[in-house]
Amino acid sequence: MTASALVPDALRADIETLWNYHDMHHVVRPADVGIGLGSHDLGVATYAADLYLRGLFPLIVFTGANAPTTVSRFPRGEAVHYKEHAIGRGVPDGAVLVEPQATNTGENFTYTRTLLGKHGIAVASAVLISRPYQQRRAYATCKKLWPEIEVTCASFPLSLDNYVESIGDVDRVINMLVGDTQRITEYAKKGFAIEQPYPNEVRAAFKRLVDAGYTSRLI
């Protein structure tokens, strides 16, 4: 593991607290569709393909345009590159729909729902595939905007250390963890998502990491 991919020992307990908080610990069950949420993390597409090939759902929707952090990596858009990656792993072209316009999590679900409707596809259940630390926010957002469907959250199964190593930038991961933690409460206040439990240990870990300077993803 390179120096840039090492979790700082002094902060490890707080980082692990947030990491575990965002993991919904769902058991993936068969569903009508898998929804892969676009990001910088190609592991989302990898795991969506793996779950499809295991027979967990018959259709994948990849949703996402670009964020400033993904333009250089995915110049044709996150969802487009995700689809290409999934096909490269053996998913048939006809089993993947692309929603290439969404620029935030709310749009991911709103536009995906519209896309499925245009194709005449009714769904009662979905597996949401995201970055590990996006699970709780994805769940809360989906249940606000699409409350009638049954939702299971999933991410490529990596430990914190292995995930940081796969991204190669520990500061980026910590900043994203901190930012997503803030969004859990702030987006619920704004009506973008349903409220989630916010234990005292999570609140304290969040504050310590903010005080340590991990603020680049705060809103």
Q: How much is the pLDDT for 76?
A: 87
Residue 152 β-bridge partners: 127
The identity of residue 31, as a single letter, is A
Residues lower than pLDDT 70 in the chain: 1-5
Could you tell me the pTM of the whole model?
0.93
Which pLDDT tens digit goes with each residue over 105-142?
999 999 999 999 999 999 999 999 999 999 999 999 99
- Average pLDDT over the chain, rounded to an integer: 94
Q: How much is the pLDDT for 2?
A: 53
Residues 6+ apart with CB under 8 A from 1: 161, 165
CB 179 within 8 A of CB 217: yes
Cα 123 to Cα 198: distance, rounded to the nearest angstrom: 30
Return the structure tokens found at 184: 């859990």
Cα 154 to Cα 23: distance, rounded to the nearest angstrom: 8
Q: How much is the pLDDT for 68?
A: 75
* Start-to-end C-alpha separation, the chain: 31
